[in-house]
Amino acid sequence: MSGLKGKVAVVAAGHSRWGIRNATWRELAQEAGRELFKAAPNLDRKQVDSLFVGAAEPERWAFQSHVAPLVADMLGIQPWRVVQRTDLACASGQSAVRSAAMAIATGLSDVALCIGIEKMNLPNMAESQTSMACVLDREFDGPHGASAPPFFALTAQRHMYDYGTTEEQMALVAEKNHANSCHNPNAQFQKPVPKDKVLSSRMVAPPLKLFDCSGITDGAAAVLMTSAERAGDFTDQAAYILGSGQSAIGGNLANLHSWTTWEPGRIASREGYKMAGITPQDLDFVESHDCFSISEIIEYEDLGFCKKGEGGKFIEEGNPYIGGKIPFNTRGGLLGMGHPLGATGVSQTCEVLWQFQGKVPRQRRVDGADLAMTHNLSGAANVHSVLIWGRQPSVGG
């Protein structure tokens, strides 16, 4: 079970600008790839033996299937060990990172490039949104109008009913993450959004308002991965995988055991902590999946940072801020960065590396961070994915 622990290193990262981009999916891939190659001056592209592409729906948003070899071609690499694209909707990026990690841990790959890409903005946005609705169960939930915003809105309503969570508490999450993304030059949103602006923004699906929702975003992000032994060939400050967990329970909404307790999130994080040999309290920061403001509140609870139902209070008391007990989403999260589905998990990985390397702007930096977690959920929060990262290949190492 300790298969990945301490064996795999992320040694360089590259990121495109995110937003409504006047660029094709290929151009986004090239932009992130170019930045990655700049960050790995010791890399000869001929060394890249494997390619992992995270993308959720290029078949719909870019009218292109079989994207992996086209990406290889655009980046000027000719992988000869493993080549694939992984899809896990909103968690496609982390899925690609996990796949690359497996390839390296087995020794199948020596040097792997992992890139997440999504081009979501189309001239006809109704078409883009219809495709987004494919992420939930189209046969059973589609007829009821359940796409992501209504699903998370119902989740929020139930959390408010069960635990007294307030719209103000949710607005604090949006305010915090937008404050962080102000200091991220790659973010889609780089202006402060104070709590009152969140609360007075346009209603999307009650109680979720515009700024409670992540954006529809074009973007890419890439990382270079190798074994812990070879990390020194590329950098003197890598990020090492210490733990991994992923759990799927339930398909359509009628099968969810609970809307407000995300059992797969509990299981995935428990598995991750167990493999890493740590507790949530050991972490220095978390990049979590705040697709909606309510998501981050439930994540405080189910990833183990506060008791069930106390997520709202957790942010009210200042815990998930930079300088607080456990900073959440220093990058700006999905709310501030935007959420190009396949790229998000890879971008979180970039943030972990850059935090460890002290490369992020002072305002969003977590000084001396040694341990971090990246977390994604997908679909109707019925799949959760977690990776635990260390500045060293072993805890306290």
Show the site string, 137-176: x = touches a copy of itself by CB under 8 A, - = not. Answer: xxx-------------------------------------
Residue 156 region, left (φ>0) first, then alpha (ψ -120 to 50), else beta?
alpha
Q: Which of residues 351-380 bind a copy of itself (CB under 8 A)?
A: 378-379
Q: Is 79 in the site for a copy of itself (CB under 8 A)?
A: yes
Selected from 22, 41, 44, 63, the binder of a copy of itself by CB under 8 A is: 63
3-class DSSP state for residue 14?
A: strand
CB distance 52 to 99 below 8 Å: yes
| CA angle (99 as vertex; 93, 104 as ends), nearest 5 | 130
Burial class of 319 by CB neighbour count within 10 A (0 to 12, 13 to 18, 19+): middle
Q: Would you give the binding string for a copy of itself spanning residues 267-306, x where CB under 8 A is met? A: xx--x-----------------------------------
Would residue 213 show up in a list of annotated catalytic residues for this protein?
no
- Asked whether position 122 contacts a copy of itself by CB under 8 A, the answer is no
Question: Applying CB under 8 A, does 4 fall inside the site for a copy of itself?
Answer: yes
Name residues contacting a copy of itself, limited to 32-61 (CB under 8 A): 51, 56-57, 59-60
- Which of 6, 15, 43, 86 forms a contact with a copy of itself (CB under 8 A)? 86
Q: Given the complex with a copy of itself, which of 71 and 179 has the nearer CB atom?
A: 71
Positions of E strands within 214-370: 219-227, 239-248, 285-287
Considering only CA atoms, which of 321, 325, 292 is closest in space to residue 159?
292
Residue 74 vs 122, nearer CB to a copy of itself: 74
Among 9, 15, 16, 26, binds a copy of itself (CB under 8 A): 26
Terminal Cα distance for the chain, rounded: 20
The radius of gyration computed from the CA coordinates of the chain, to the nearest angstrom, equals 19
Q: How far is the CB of 131 from a copy of itself (least distance, A)?
A: 7
Candidate residues 17, 34, 45, 74; the one interacting with a copy of itself per rule CB under 8 A: 74
Which of 12-20, 244-252, 283-291, 365-373 is the region at the interface with a copy of itself (rule: CB under 8 A)?
244-252
Kindly give, in sequence order, each residue whose CB lies less than 8 Å from that of residue 3, ignoring residues fewer than 6 positions away: 102, 105
Of the residues 9, 29, 105, 298, which one makes contact with a copy of itself according to CB under 8 A: 105
Total number of residues binding a copy of itself (CB under 8 A)?
A: 69
Q: What gap in Å lies between CA 319 and CA 325, rounded to an integer? A: 5
Neighbours of 147 (CB within 10 A): 19
Distance of CA 15 to the CA centre of its chain: 13
Find the angle CA(58)-CA(15)-CA(236) to the nearest 5 degrees. 130
Decide: is 112 part of the binding site for a copy of itself (CB under 8 A).
Answer: no
Binding site for a copy of itself (CB under 8 A): 1-4, 24, 26, 51, 56-57, 59-60, 63-70, 72-74, 78-89, 95, 98-99, 102-103, 105-108, 110, 131, 134-139, 244-252, 255, 267-268, 271, 378-379, 382-383, 385
